Amino acid sequence: MPSDKEYLDRALAKLEGLGEITHRQMMGEYMIYCRGKLVGGVYDNRLLLKRTPSSERILAESECGVRRAVPYDGAKEQLDFSGAGAELVRRAAEAVADELPAPKRKK
């Protein structure tokens, strides 16, 4: 089931204040980038962020009901921040972006 544009807008609102947040639509879902790094996406109207040591630590410290989820069959497990508050989502997305390597330059 493709994600709604309205849900994407609500998810992006939670990320306001982080600086350069962009998104790209792919096959009915949305990839979310922070400072040019793919940090997660909106899949089936769920806000999922990549699993990194930092995001796992934030998950362990919070008691907000964040759980692990798979965006689609065959994909790596991610963290479902759909029900989390904006502050927690921003902290986690920023931590993931800080931890990921810079994108490779295209030739």
Sorted by where each begins, the domain ranges of the chain are 5-99
Residue in the structure block whose two tokens are 């806000």: 47
Q: Given CATH 3.30.1460, say whether it is the number of domain 5-99.
A: yes
Q: What is the distance between the alpha carbons of residues 19 and 15, in angstroms, rounded to a whole number?
A: 9
d(CA 4, CA 52): 27
pLDDT, tens digit, 9 for 90 and up, residues 92-106: 999 999 999 988 888
Dump pLDDT digits (tens) for 29-77: 999 999 999 999 999 999 999 999 998 888 888 777 778 899 888 999 9
Q: Which helix (H) or strand (E) holds 24?
A: strand 21-26
Helical H runs in 48-106?
A: 53-61, 86-99
The greatest distance separating any two alpha carbons of the chain, rounded to the nearest whole angstrom, comes to 44
